[in-house]
Structure 1
């Protein structure tokens, strides 16, 4: 399978909140447009944007609307009980007409070409999968979705999906049907089925353990293992060679040296700091690149990943 080219953008745009609406318990949908009605950037299923909510308050949300509609972008936001400020701000402070900014779109969860698809969503993890369903269905592809959540009332889009695709969508609220039967779900799938999964980390880990090569989208970083060793990083564009000590990221060292580098999450989940690798082996610690993409060794997330040798040469 070959993934389509990523639709990456570091462009920042001013937008206005056209409409905020409640979709389910603890979930709101934001519809964003340009203040003057100008067309928004193109994007493909699986893409996300950074919402720049205020100083030091940036969050990444998957686009869940129609890629063919350049007049609006839509994201759905879950109110997190342990919110660090982002979801609380969205739910409590944002109102129709609020001006804010976005960065992106950026896509690390691209839809590949495959003879058939299995989508597994947990809770708010349904959001990046929605545009994928519309695209594969329009192609006439063979696909199905299994959608789990705590309760039916907390599962955004569940009723809409069940009504639209009754033969392809299985809605499985935990309080009604228990945990998803992943063994039964995955054991009979053919090897050429493209499996996509998005949701809470326990679900992602369980699916990854049962299905090598599954494509996942994470909302939180994987646990980082490995020992931090010192190494050097040569910046090809800037003509500088910098020392990266244990306990400090490449991103931090580069910023300390006054070299501009885009970043957002600083935990290896958003892809904003992705940087081309020209020489050296990478100790990949991000939660974005697939095993195959990491093996190619031609790009890295400098906020978390390190060198597997004495030196890296980066296109910075």
Structure 2
């Protein structure tokens, strides 16, 4: 794609000091391990993987809510500052969370919650803010409901309000962290279509995080697969769905629902995700991989480029 990258992650790591037990010494948990990623203006990139693989931690670093332990997060070619009202990226990077109820102040009318980023991050007048809020509520299908409170809405409606709040400043980048995982299928489709419609209108880039490959593939032409803190495959949606190269991606594709609603058996020896406190040596997926060899158990694989825009981190990719 042409143009300078909007977002760049360069060898980004995030570690946390945790205790294994009440009296145990602190240990280091590596949530994100050496991630490189690029996202261009207006692009949608999906980030998929099991719960506990580090996706949400990565999303919070992209928003400036967590600093990297090592490496760089660049936004518009400059180091991303910590999130806050004085940040140079304030209003330009926003986030849609999994639970909209916890992200909305229950004591505020929803119109006030949606307007709040405008008061904090823009110099718009009160009349201009009110007009933009009314327009955004109309766009998300909730016209005239700005004076209600969060508890008066359904879960799907609250997520629409959370989308309105994230997009009210016309940001350049929106991180969507499992935004539809708590919704039923019909409401999921409504929210996903809303996100796509708003992107056509305003053109933000999306980093779309989910454990559900079918949701990610609906939203994003390009998909990155994460396993135990590392990216293991990245490429065009069609390549990953039709001929996935990494055994873990193959397992995710095999687990997607088929047309009749059933799921194919996943490819692998175990369904259990190893602990990030005690990751396996070498390729972290080798204990679950049916074709693991001694190379897999000994060394972390380097990236292999399969074709332009498609790469895999595997000793024995199967294409």
TM-score using structure 2 length: 0.37
Question: Comparing both structures, which one devotes a greater share of its residues to strand?
Answer: 1
Query: Higher helix share goes to which structure?
Result: 2
Kindly indicate whether structure 1 or structure 2 has the higher relative contact order, using CA contacts under 8 Å at least 6 residues apart: 2
